[in-house]
Structure formats: C-alpha cells, structure tokens
Amino acid sequence: MAQNSSRQVGRHFLHIPGPTPVPDRILRAMDTPMIDHRGPEFAKLAKRCLDGIKTIFKTTNPVIIYTATGTGAWEGALTNTLSSGDKVLMVETGQFGALWKKMADKLGLQTELLATDWRTGVDPKVIEKRLSEDKKHEIKAVCVLHNETSTGALSPIAEIRKAIDAAGHPALFMVDTISSLASTDYRHDEWGVDVTVGGAQKGLMLPPGMSFNAISNKALEANKTSKLPKSFFDWQDMLNLNKSGFFPYTPATLMLFGLDVGITMLHEEGLDNVFARHDRLAEATRIAAKHWGLEILCKDSKYYSPTVTAILLPEGHNADQFRAMALETFNISYGASFGPFAGKYFRIGHLGDVNDATMMGCLATTEVALQLFGVPIKKGGAQAAMDYLLSQHGAAKKQAAE
C-alpha cells in the first residue's frame, strides 16, 4: 500500500447520498461558453428545462427552478404559502426533518414536531390522528420528507395524502423529495401534493446549487394571501418571467445546460428503469449489510430507502473513524451520522449515476474496509449481494428470451 503518496489513483468512490457522481455527459454539457441569459438561445434552453422538469415531478403545473441549494427551495415552499404565526405540522424523521422545522421556526411559523426514534418513516395514521384532533383547522400545512436522507427511511406520500383526506383537513401538503426525486417513483399531481421541494445534486445527477418547487393550484391560491416576506424566492416574479423563458435574475446558465441533459438521460433510460435500478442496488446493499451481521438503522422494511442505507456499527466501533480510515485507505466516501446516533452509523448512498458494477465495487471495498477497521463481520456480504444481482439479471434475461 502506498505510504506518503499525494495522489489518489482512479475515480473517487463517492458514496455519500448527495452530491452524487456527475456523469461525464452532464459535465461536458456544462463545459460550454456563456450565453446571454436574456437572449433567444437561453429562452429555448430554459423552456426545455421548465417543460422537462415537469415530467420528472409528474405535474402539468409550473415548476420553479431556483438558483439555490435545496435549503432555498424549503424556504420558497414555506414563505410563498404561509403567514407569520401559522401552525405547521412536521415530522422529525431525522436530521433533515429537524432542520426544516428549525427553518420554519426562524421564519416565524408555529411548528409542531411529531417525534420519531429516527429509525422509521412517517406513519400516515399518526398524521390522520393529529389532524382529526385539529377541529378548528389551525394547522395550515403538513410538511414531510419523502426520503429522510440522514437515516435512510422512505415515507409513503400517497398514503399520507389519503390520511389528510380521511381527516377531512384542508392543510397544505408539502413534501421534500430532495433525495428521492428521479430515483424512486414520485407523482406530484396524482398524489395531491401542494408544494414539492426538489434538489439538483442527488437523483438528478447535477452539481449542487439548483433546487425546485413544484406547485399545485391550491398552493398558488394560498400564495395570494400568504404574508411571510419573500423576495428572492417569490414565485410570482418567477412565474411571470418564466412564461417567456427568462428569470428575474441571472440564473445558473451552466446548471441549466446540465439539467437539460440530465432530464434527457433519465428519459433515455426510462424512469421506471431508473426506479428499478435504484431498488435493485438498494436491496443488494441491504443484503450485504445483513450478511455481515450489521444492523440497518431503518428498523422497518416497509420504510427502507431506495437511495441510501444507514448501517450501524457494533458498540465500541466509531463510525466517523471508520469513514476516515476508508477514505484514506480506499478513496471511498460514505455519509456521516447525526443526532442521537452520531458516531454510530455510516451511510452508503446508492443513488444517481450508479450502476451494478459501481455498487459491487463499493460493497466489496466496504467489506474489506470493515475488516481492516476491526469490525467483527461475517465475510461474504459482497458475494451475497453479487449473487442477488446475478439472480436479478438472470431473471430479466430469461424473461426477455421468452
């Protein structure tokens, strides 16, 4: 093994759950001279992006494209629809749920946080019960994360919609899909979501710095009476200028070139194939972890995330030190741990431009790294994942031949 070497050889194995590896094709599309952001070529590009992104959110309504990270789109969702003192129901599925709540507090909203043990997704029954108790309809919005990136738990958005309807409650429904969009099925219109928040640097395979608000007609209505201050994130300025293919300010032109190609790539593969690939790679990762004898943080399989898996290390093994060692030795990055489980787990991101070979490399490397770090595991987890991938491809091949 190279000691005192300043060069890392080969591609970095970026297995954090975002930013995800940016495909060369997107990088090349972004490596282009500047164009006039008020000129005709830009207008064509913007229209392609503004139309294309609707197919990813599965909506026929406008989608706002912000020149900001996902956190900016969180702010856009809240400030465009709510007024100071409005009550908002949120769920602390993990770190990101907690952060969105913190933002709502800072903005002057009155938040009510439903706690979890950070090992599960949102239970629709809990939402239904709480909304049913709110006879005076004081709760103005329900905000949940589709995928809690910090713990690896996916929540059933269509069922939560049904729960809100079953309670007969008029609250707006806001969903953060930053680490699920374009990786697993999501239907803004069909599932009756009022504001969907998205980000560029996860399933969409772009660099960080762009985010989205998909909006329902009900959210547009709420926008008319909402009183929270909004300027940079104001929907109205955006919607007005977007009609002609322009933005109220200089947008991130190169990101739009990248987005245009990213959307094209997703459709070339086929969204359903994209989702199946994520499911397959997630299952392969869980199979490896279980074989090693390690515990998955998400304790209920019905909430397993298709994009990120958090794996607990046994008592006495610090996960942050494990990540540092794996990075130094094998040039692989994993996601960090948070909150009550800080130092206790690491996360393997399996989203975006990742394929079976990438994941086999990641899982084999992880198996070696765990042993090198002294974690007592049962060898063969990577092989078990490979056997699973073999069976999946074998079955698909057989089906194609029939």
Contact (Cβ atoms closer than 8 angstroms) between residue 379 and residue 363:
no
**Residue listed under structure tokens 């029954």:** 125
- Of residues 145 and 311, the one with the C-beta less far from ligand PLP: 145
Alpha carbon 83 to its chain centroid, in Å, reads 27
Q: Which is nearer to ligand PLP, 311 or 385 (CB)?
A: 311
Indicate the residue whose CB is closest to ligand PLP.
70
To the nearest whole angstrom, how small is the minimum distance from the Cβ of residue 176 to ligand PLP?
A: 5
Rounded distance between C-alpha atoms, residue 147 and residue 335, angstroms: 15
CB of 116 to ligand PLP, least distance (A): 15
Alpha helices, DSSP H only, in 199-318?
217-225, 235-242, 253-269, 271-292
Distance CA(141)–CA(137), nearest Å, equals 10
Pick between residue 71 and residue 318 the one whose CB is nearest to ligand PLP. 71
Torsion of CA 202, 176, 180, 23, to 10 degrees: -20
CB 303 within 8 A of CB 154: yes
Residue nearer to ligand PLP on the CB measure, 19 or 381:
19
User: Are 308 and 179 within 8 A, CB to CB?
Assistant: yes
Q: How far apart are CA 172 and CA 168, in angstroms?
A: 12
347 is in an annotated binding site: yes
Q: What is the C-alpha to C-alpha distance for residues 109 and 15, in angstroms, rounded to an integer?
A: 35
Token pair listed for 269: 């593969």
Identify the sign of the CA torsion 329, 278, 201, 302: negative
State the minimum distance, in angstroms, from the CB of residue 97 to ligand PLP: 8
Cβ at position 179, least distance to ligand PLP in Å: 3
Q: Quick one: 192 or 208, whose CB is closer to ligand PLP?
A: 208
Min dist CB 197 to ligand PLP, Å, is 7
**Residue nearer to ligand PLP on the CB measure, 179 or 365:** 179
In the bound complex, what is the minimum distance in angstroms from residue 368's beta carbon to ligand PLP? 28
Residues that bind ligand PLP (CB under 6 A): 18, 69-71, 96, 145, 149, 176, 178-179, 199, 208
Known binding positions for substrate = 347
Annotated binding-site residue numbers: 347
